[in-house]
Structure 1
Amino acid sequence: MRRAIDTLFGRLVVIVIGMLVLSHVAWFAIIRFERDNVQTRFAVEEAVFLVEAVRQHIANTPDQPLPPRVRVVPLASPDVPRQPDENMPPPLQRFVEDLKDRLPDGTDVRLSEPGGPPSVWVHGVKDTGWVVVPVQPLRPPRSRDRMLVWLALIFSTAVLAALFGAWQLQYPLRSLAQAVGRFGRGQPTPPVPERGPRELRQLTHGFNQMVREVSQTESDRAVMLAGVAHDLKTPLARLRLRAEMMDDAKMRDGVVRDVDSMAHIVDQFLVFAHDRPDGSEPVPVDEQCERIARAYRAVSPGAQPIRLKLEAGLAFALPAATLDRLLSNLLDNAHAYGAPPVVIETRREAKVWVLSVSDHGKGIAPDDLIKASRPFVRLDPARGGSGHSGLGLAIVERLARRVGGECEIGNRADGGLQVAMTFPFDIATRPVEERRAGPQHEERVS
C-alpha cells in the first residue's frame, strides 16, 4: 500500500512541520518566561521608587498629605499583614525576593492580604512605621492568551510557505521520476524541463541526453534491421519458387521448410523493428482470445490443446494487431518449447488487468529467466535451426510495454513457463466504443 510518507514531498512536509512546531514552541516558551521576568522587574522598580518617594516626602514635607493609596501605618497596627509563607505562588515569591535585594539590608517586606487592592508593606531599619504603596498585580499566565492567536497565525503562514517551497522543490524530481518510468517501460519519453536546483538540472540534462542517444541508437538499429529483413524477402520468394520446381519431392519439401523458417525469422525481424504505435481498433481481449484459439486449432490440428480461462469481461480491451502478435508469439513459443496443455487466462485484479499464457513443460532455468526476454538470445543452442531467432519473448515484452503494460516471465509452481502481462485500468478499462472514438471523444469527456 502506498503511503504519503514514502514520497519526497511527504517527508519534506513532516520535516518542515516538525521543525516549525519545535521552533515555535521553543519561541513561545521563551517569550512567556521573559515576559514574566520583565513584569516582575518592572513591578519591583516601581515599588522601590514609590517607597523612596514616600520616605523623601516624610523627611522633607511631613505636613503635606500623601497621594491616594499611599500611607504610613504604625508598627503596632492590627492591619499589618503576616509574614509571607512558603506556599505563595512562585511569581510573588520572586517579587518579594527581588524587592528585598533592591532595598537596604534588614528591610521587612510583606504583601497585602488577598481580597483587597494589591499593595506592598515595607519597613526599614530607620522607618518609624510601615510604608504601604500600591503594586501592579502579578497574575500567573492565563490559559488563553492573545499571543497564542498570533502564534497560530504565524505558524500557519510559515507552514503554507514552507509547503509551497517543498512542492516547488520536489515537482521537477517527480517529473523526472515519471519520465524514467516511461523510458523504462519503452514508452515515448519527451524531454523533461530542466529546472530546480543546479544538481537536479544537471541530472535532468544528463537524462535527456541519455534518452536522445538511446532513442537514436534504437532508431538506427531498427532501420538497419528492417532494411535487411525487407531486402531478404525478395530473394526468399525467388528461392521458394525455385524450390517448388524441383523434381525430387524429398529435397523440395526440405528446402521449402527451410525457406519458410527463414521467412518466419524475417517476419519476426520486421515486427521487432517496427517502432510505431499500434493504430488498430481496440477489441475485447476475451473475445479475441477465443477467436485466436479457434484459428490456431484450425490451422494446426495436431498442435497441443489450448485451454481458456477468461474472466476479465468486455471492459478489458487492447489494440487488435498488438493482441494478435502477443498471443501468436506466445502460442508459437509454447508449442515449440513447452508441453500441453497451453492455458490462456485473463482476470481483473485490484488495479490492473492480467493476460497470461502458460504451458506445462519444463520451464526455464532460474538463472536464465533474466535473459529470456533479451533479443537474439536462444537459451538452447540446439534450437538454432528450428526457424526461431530468439525474438519471440523480446517482441512480447516490447509490444506489452508499447501499450503501457508490463511483462513478467517466470516458472509455474507445478511446472511450465508462464508469461504474465499486466495493464493498468487507465489504459485498458475504457469501453471499446470510447477507445475507438479517439482523442476527440476524450477531449469532450474531460
Structure 2
Amino acid sequence: MRRAIDTLFGRLVVIVIGMLVLSHVAWFAIIRFERDNVQTRFAVEEAVFLVEAVRQHITNTPDQPLPPRVRLVALNRPDVPKQPDEDTPPPLQRFVEDLKDRLPDGTEVRLNEPGGPPSVWVHGAKDDGWIVVPVQPLRPPRSRDRMLVWLALIFSTAVLAALCGAWQLQYPLRALAQAVGRFGRGQPTPPVPERGPRELRQLTHGFNQMVREVSQTENDRAVMLAGVAHDLKTPLARLRLRAEMMDDEKMRDGVVRDVDSMAHIVDQFLVFAHDRPDGSEPVPVDEQCERIVRAYRAVAPGAQPIRLKLEAGPAFVLPAASLDRLLSNLLDNAHAYGAPPVVIETRREAKGWVLSVSDHGRGIAPEDLIKASRPFVRLDPARGGSGHSGLGLAIVERLARRAGGECEIGNRAEGGLQVAMTFPFDTATRPAQERRAGPQHEERAL
C-alpha cells in the first residue's frame, strides 16, 4: 500500500507545513510578548510625563485647577492604596518597578484598588502629598479573533505558495524516476527534459547520456546477433537439404536433428536481437492461451500434458506476437527441462494481471535463480539441456518488460519452476499505433 509520506512531495509537504506552523506559533508568541512590553513602556512614559507635569503645575501655577482625573491627595488619607504584594499580577509588578526606575530615588509608587478607574499614586521625597494620575490599561481588550484570522490567512497563503514551490521542485524528479523505471524494465526511454536546480539538471543530463550509450551498445549487439543469425540461416538450409539426401537413415536423422537444433538456436538469436516495439493488436490472453495450447498439442501429440487455469477474463489483453513468443518459449523450456503437468494460469491481483507458467520438475537451485534469466547462461547441472542457446528465459524477461510488465522466476513450494509475469492494468491496453510509434511517440507524450 502506497503512503503519501513515502513520496518526495509528501515529505516536502510535511516539512513545509511543520516549519510554517512552528514559525507562525513563534511569531504569535513574540508579537504578544513585545506588545505587552510596548504597552508597559508606553504606560510608564505616560505616567512619568504626567507626574512631572503635575509637579511643574504645582510649582509654577498653583492657583490653576488640575486637569480631569489628576488629583493631589494628602498623605494621611484613609483611601490611600496599599503597597503592591505578591498577589499583584506580574505585568503590574513590572510596571511598578519600571516606573520606580524612571522616577527619582525614594519615590513611592502604588496602584489604585481594583474596581476603580486605572490610576497610579506617586509620592516623592519633595512632594507634600500623593500625586494621582491616570494610566492606560496594560491589557486593553483586543479582539484575538481578528489576529487569528489574519494569521490563518497568512498561513494559508504561505502553505499554498510553498506547496506550489515543492511541486515544481519534485516534478522533474518524478519525471526522472519514471524514466528510470521505464529504462529498468527495458522499455523505450525518451530523453528527460533537463529542468530544475543545477544538481538535478546534471543528474538528468548524466541519465540521458547513459541511456544513449546503453541504447547504442544494445543496438550494436542486436545488429551483430541479427546479422550472424541471419547469415547462418542459408548454410543451415543447405545442410538440411544435403542431410535429406543421405542414404544412411540413422546418420540422416542425427544430422537433421542437429540442424534443427542449430536452426532453433538461430531463431532464438533473432528473437533476442529483435528490439522493436510490438505493433500487433492486443488479444484476450485467456483465449490466446487456449489456441496456443491446442496448436501445441496438434504439433506434438506426445508432448507433456498442459493444464489451463484461466481466471483473468476478457479484460486481460496483450499484443498477440509478444504473447505467442512468451508462451512458446516457456512451454519449450518446461517440456525440455521440467516434468508434467505444465500449468498455464491467469488471474487478476491488486497490482495487475498475472500470467504464469509452471512445471513439476526439479526446478532451479536457489543459488542459480538470479542467473536464470541472463543471456547465454545454461544451467546444465540443475536443468540439464544441451543444444540450447540459454536465451529462453532471457527472451521471456525481455518480452515481458517490453510489454510493460515484470517477470519473476522462482521455484514452487510443491516442486518445479514457476515463471510469473505481472502486467499493470493500463499497460497492455494501449493502442497498437502507440506501441508502433516507439520512443518518438513516448517523447511527444511526455
TM-score using structure 1 length: 0.93
State the Cα distance separating 1:161 from its structure 2 match: 2.5
State the Cα distance separating 1:142 from its structure 2 match: 5.2
- C-alpha distance in 2 between matches for 1:84 and 1:243: 123
**Using a 3 Å threshold, how does the CA distance of structure 1 residues 141 and 258 change in structure 2: closer, same or farther?**
farther
**Using a 3 Å threshold, how does the CA distance of structure 1 residues 123 and 138 change in structure 2: closer, same or farther?**
same
Conservation of the 8 A alpha-carbon contact between 1:172 and 1:195: yes
Conservation of the 8 A alpha-carbon contact between 1:354 and 1:420: yes
Conservation of the 8 A alpha-carbon contact between 2:244 and 2:252: yes
- Higher mean displacement: 290-299 or 436-445: 436-445
- Higher mean displacement: 434-443 or 311-320: 434-443
State the Cα distance separating 1:270 from its structure 2 match: 1.1
State the Cα distance separating 1:438 from its structure 2 match: 14
- C-alpha distance in 1 between matches for 2:436 and 2:294: 25
**Using a 3 Å threshold, how does the CA distance of structure 1 residues 50 and 205 change in structure 2: closer, same or farther?**
same
Conservation of the 8 A alpha-carbon contact between 1:281 and 1:436: no
- C-alpha distance in 1 between matches for 2:89 and 2:414: 80
- Higher mean displacement: 141-150 or 311-320: 141-150
State the Cα distance separating 1:105 from its structure 2 match: 3.0
Conservation of the 8 A alpha-carbon contact between 1:278 and 1:319: yes
**Using a 3 Å threshold, how does the CA distance of structure 1 residues 196 and 435 change in structure 2: closer, same or farther?**
closer
Conservation of the 8 A alpha-carbon contact between 1:315 and 1:430: no
Instruction: Tell me the alpha carbon deviations over residues 251-281 of structure 1, each in whole angstroms, 9 at most, x when there is no partner.
Output: 1111111111111111111111111111212
- C-alpha distance in 2 between matches for 1:188 and 1:442: 8
Conservation of the 8 A alpha-carbon contact between 2:280 and 2:432: no
Superposed CA RMSD in Å reads 3.2
**Using a 3 Å threshold, how does the CA distance of structure 1 residues 234 and 432 change in structure 2: closer, same or farther?**
closer
Conservation of the 8 A alpha-carbon contact between 2:190 and 2:442: no
- Higher mean displacement: 405-414 or 77-86: 77-86
- Higher mean displacement: 351-360 or 244-253: 244-253
- Higher mean displacement: 430-439 or 23-32: 430-439
**Using a 3 Å threshold, how does the CA distance of structure 1 residues 61 and 264 change in structure 2: closer, same or farther?**
same
State the Cα distance separating 1:443 from its structure 2 match: 17
State the Cα distance separating 1:245 from its structure 2 match: 1.3
- C-alpha distance in 2 between matches for 1:63 and 1:444: 95
- C-alpha distance in 2 between matches for 1:116 and 1:242: 127
SS in 1 for 2:420: strand
**Using a 3 Å threshold, how does the CA distance of structure 1 residues 125 and 310 change in structure 2: closer, same or farther?**
same
State the Cα distance separating 1:79 from its structure 2 match: 3.5
- C-alpha distance in 1 between matches for 2:36 and 2:380: 86
| 2:336 paired residue number | 336
Conservation of the 8 A alpha-carbon contact between 2:338 and 2:360: yes
Structure 2, gaps ≥5 residues long? none
Conservation of the 8 A alpha-carbon contact between 2:279 and 2:436: no
Instruction: Tell me the alpha carbon deviations over residues 284-312 of structure 1, each in whole angstroms, 9 at most, x when there is no partner.
Output: 11111111112212221211111111110
State the Cα distance separating 1:150 from its structure 2 match: 3.3
TM-score using structure 2 length: 0.93
**Using a 3 Å threshold, how does the CA distance of structure 1 residues 259 and 440 change in structure 2: closer, same or farther?**
closer
- Higher mean displacement: 168-177 or 407-416: 168-177
**Using a 3 Å threshold, how does the CA distance of structure 1 residues 360 and 191 change in structure 2: closer, same or farther?**
same
SS in 2 for 1:361: coil
SS in 1 for 2:418: strand
- C-alpha distance in 1 between matches for 2:295 and 2:278: 22
| 1:396 paired residue number | 396
**Using a 3 Å threshold, how does the CA distance of structure 1 residues 440 and 259 change in structure 2: closer, same or farther?**
closer
**Using a 3 Å threshold, how does the CA distance of structure 1 residues 228 and 381 change in structure 2: closer, same or farther?**
farther
**Using a 3 Å threshold, how does the CA distance of structure 1 residues 191 and 361 change in structure 2: closer, same or farther?**
same
Conservation of the 8 A alpha-carbon contact between 1:182 and 1:188: yes
SS in 2 for 1:348: strand
State the Cα distance separating 1:115 from its structure 2 match: 2.9
- Higher mean displacement: 108-117 or 6-15: 108-117
SS in 2 for 1:63: coil
SS in 2 for 1:426: coil
Aligned residues with identical type, % of pairs? 93
State the Cα distance separating 1:63 from its structure 2 match: 0.7
Instruction: Tell me the alpha carbon deviations over residues 293-347 of structure 1, each in whole angstroms, 9 at most, x when there is no partner.
Output: 1221222121111111111011001111111110110000000000111111111
